[in-house]
């Protein structure tokens, strides 16, 4: 995986525009005080991350898709690996995985949503204000 691919930005939580700067205030999605807080702009290229008010509300659709995918994956895995598992065990496995992966799914949904609207321009595409620093 190399810079220039959207997957690079998504999995490393990097700026979708330059793939250099951090996208979130804190790269660890399990720090609940700053969970999912997107920076105002990229520290490397200066690109603003907020196109309009409520821009990241659309990430709810991505989050829903990620949660359904997680649900189906865990359900199938438990059903195949433990065919005699009770319904309670299957429900506990699904809910437990969704609770544990919740912060990661939340962060992934925001970075995926941003990558749908921003394209990679490279590190040389820094704004003049950032270059002057």
Burial (0-12, 13-18, 19+ Cβ within 10 Å), 81: exposed
pLDDT at position 127 is 54
Q: What is the pLDDT of residue 36?
A: 86
Residue 67's pLDDT is what? 96
Q: What is the pTM of this model?
A: 0.85
Contacts of 132 (CB under 8 A, 6+ apart): none
**H-only helix segments in the chain:** 6-12, 59-81, 87-117, 128-132
Beta bridge partners of 24: 38
- Averaged over successive runs of 10 residues, the pLDDT of the chain (133 residues) comes to 88 92 90 90 90 91 96 96 94 96 95 92 64 50
């Amino acid at each position: 995986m190399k810079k220039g691919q959207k997957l690079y930005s998504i999995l490393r939580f990097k700026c979708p525009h330059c793939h250099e700067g951090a996208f979130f205030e804190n790269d660890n999605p399990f720090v609940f005080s700053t969970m999912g807080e997107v920076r105002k702009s990229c520290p490397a290229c200066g690109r603003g991350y907020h196109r309009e008010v409520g821009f990241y509300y659309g990430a709810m659709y991505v989050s829903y898709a990620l949660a359904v995918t997680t649900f189906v994956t865990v359900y199938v895995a438990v059903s195949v690996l433990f065919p005699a598992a009770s319904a309670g065990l299957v429900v506990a496995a699904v809910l437990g995985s969704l609770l544990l992966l919740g912060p990661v799914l939340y962060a992934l949904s925001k970075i995926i949503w941003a990558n749908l609207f921003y394209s990679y321009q490279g590190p040389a595409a820094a704004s003049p204000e950032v270059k002057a620093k």
